[in-house]
């Protein structure tokens, strides 16, 4: 039984596309067959984050309009077995696709894949409605900021009133050193406000920028702590009861002192 | 730098209130208003009208509390009005 997961947030720029790319890659690494759909029609981006931009021939809108067959539009990722991208159209707008179109598309993809991941556009209009139409569950991405959390709260309500089960939360761009000095909402603060189960925390990381420069998702990098955080989220998606590491700070005296002086970054303890 | 260091010493000495407490308070209020589809302006008006009604019967003293609270998903208006009789009894 395949599952369709929508990655959404309300607010733009909080990390939906980065999360979709990495979770899809990490799921494929566990041996699942995964299609990731870029539902951000008109603002195609998932292709470049995945490093697959040069291989696009057809897009989502052409599939829906019957210009090509679904199989023709799917781009296979050659770095990892079992991962395909369905790119968004770049020159069309969201109204080119309806929620019913998306539902039918997702149903078809579920026939021969284990997961369909949908990278939702920002906002709560047509693109959002299309994105949740075929989804079985939702992941909400937020950053520890007032505006992002406010939008997340709104989207939680919309997802639930669309009949989906309570979504899971991913906190992105978490900065332990700011949390420690009381200048960033910590996970308990956020959970107290949003009341949905947490499925993972991704730290703020320069690695994310480097990986998007290269089109090489961090989930592929065994040595990357951020990649490991994505791989752990995937194990939780698969139902494993894996504790969510607190991004505690190195507690040795000199580490604490240097951090206090602002000389050393916080380090994740997995 | 010196200023920075002083701030840091201050955080060691006394409990300081980071900006996250502001974030949390503001978020709570804004989310309740969002949920009720009630702007802070409409809330002020409601408060004024309610006070007007109560004042027909009793004298209301300051400080008047009138706020939105959310517990277990249920939003309530919680108000506390210190009151006295209109006319001192003989
Ligand atoms: N954990 C992170 N650390 C650092 N930068 C990040 C992180 N997550 C996302 N970013 C950056 O934030 C920007 C927006 O991310 P993106 O995934 O495109 O957001 P969205 O799809 O929600 O609009 C990108 O430039 C991305 O590289
Ligand atoms: Mg995006």
pLDDT tens track, chain A, 270 positions: 899 999 999 999 999 999 999 999 999 999 999 999 999 999 999 999 999 999 999 999 999 999 999 999 999 999 999 999 999 999 998 899 999 999 999 999 999 999 999 999 999 999 999 999 999 999 999 999 999 999 999 999 999 999 999 999 999 999 999 999 999 999 999 999 999 999 999 999 999 999 999 999 999 999 999 999 999 999 999 999 999 987 655 555 655 566 566 655 555 444
Task: Judge whether A244 and A201 are in contact, CB under 8 Å.
Answer: yes
Residue A92: domain span = 3-244
Q: Is residue A249 part of a domain?
A: no
Contacts of A184 in chain B (CB under 8 A): 20
**Strand ranges (E), chain A:** 3-8, 34-38, 75-76, 83-86, 115-119, 137-142, 168-174, 198-203
Distance of alpha carbon A185 from alpha carbon A147, whole angstroms? 12
Interface test with B, best of A124, A151, A153 (most B CBs within 10 A): A153
Give the number of domains in chain A: 1
Does an H or E element contain B58, and which? strand B58-60
User: Which residues, 6+ apart, have CB-to-CB distance to A178 below 8 Å?
Assistant: A184
ipTM score here?
Answer: 0.78
Assigned token pair, A233 = 């989220």
Sequence ranges of the domains in chain B: 2-85
Contacts of A195 in chain B (CB under 8 A): 73
Q: Is A171 in the pocket of ligand 1 (CB under 6 A)?
A: no
Distance of alpha carbon A50 from alpha carbon A43, whole angstroms? 15
pTM score, two decimals? 0.86
Test B31 with A145 for CB contact under 8 angstroms: no
Considering only CB atoms, which residues of chain B are within 8 Å of chain A? 4, 8, 11, 16-21, 23-24, 26-28, 30-31, 34-35, 73
The DSSP call for residue B86 is S
Q: Is residue A84 part of a domain?
A: yes
Task: Judge whether A197 and A166 are in contact, CB under 8 Å.
Answer: yes
CATH number assigned to the domain comprising residue A224: 3.40.50.300
Q: Is residue A121 part of a domain?
A: yes
Q: Alpha carbon A123 to chain centroid distance?
A: 15
| Number of neighbours of residue A161 by Cβ within 10 angstroms | 8
Backbone angles phi, psi at A4, to 5 degrees: -110, 125
Q: Is A205 in the pocket of ligand 1 (CB under 6 A)?
A: yes
Q: Is residue A204 part of a domain?
A: yes
């Amino acid at each position: 039984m395949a599952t369709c997961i929508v990655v959404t947030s309300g607010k733009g720029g909080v990390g939906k596309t980065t999360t979709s790319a990495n979770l899809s890659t990490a799921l494929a690494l566990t041996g699942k067959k995964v299609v990731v759909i870029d539902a951000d029609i008109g603002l195609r981006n998932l292709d470049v984050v995945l490093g697959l931009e040069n291989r696009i021939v057809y897009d989502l809108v052409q599939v829906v309009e019957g210009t090509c067959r679904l199989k023709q539009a799917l781009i296979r990722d050659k770095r990892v077995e079992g991962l395909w991208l369905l790119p968004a159209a770049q020159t069309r707008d969201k109204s080119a696709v309806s929620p019913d179109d998306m539902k039918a598309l997702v149903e078809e993809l579920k026939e021969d894949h284990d997961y369909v991941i949908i990278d939702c556009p920002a906002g709560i209009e047509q693109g959002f409605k299309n994105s949740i139409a075929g989804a079985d569950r939702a992941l909400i991405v937020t950053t520890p900021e007032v505006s992002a959390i406010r939008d997340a709260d709104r989207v939680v309500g919309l997802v639930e009133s669309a009949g989906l089960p309570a979504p899971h939360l991913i906190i992105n761009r978490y900065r332990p050193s700011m949390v420690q000095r009381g200048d960033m909402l910590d996970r308990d603060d956020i959970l107290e406000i949003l009341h949905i189960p947490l499925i993972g925390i991704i730290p703020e990381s320069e690695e994310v920028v480097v990986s998007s420069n290269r089109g090489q998702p961090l989930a592929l990098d065994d040595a990357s702590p951020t990649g490991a955080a994505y791989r752990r989220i995937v194990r939780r998606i698969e139902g494993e009861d894996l504790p969510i590491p607190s991004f505690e700070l190195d507690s040795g005296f000199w580490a604490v002192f240097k951090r206090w002086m602002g000389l050393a970054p916080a380090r994740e303890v997995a | 730098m010196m200023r920075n260091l002083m701030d840091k010493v201050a955080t060691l000495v006394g409990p300081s209130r980071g900006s996250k407490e502001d974030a949390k308070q503001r978020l709570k209020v804004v989310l309740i208003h969002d949920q009720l589809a009630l702007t802070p302006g409409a809330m002020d008006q409601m408060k004024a009208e309610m006070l007007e009604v109560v004042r027909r019967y009793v004298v209301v003293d300051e400080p008047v509390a009138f706020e939105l609270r959310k517990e277990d998903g249920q939003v309530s208006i919680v108000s506390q009005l210190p009151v006295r009789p209109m006319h001192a009894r003989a």
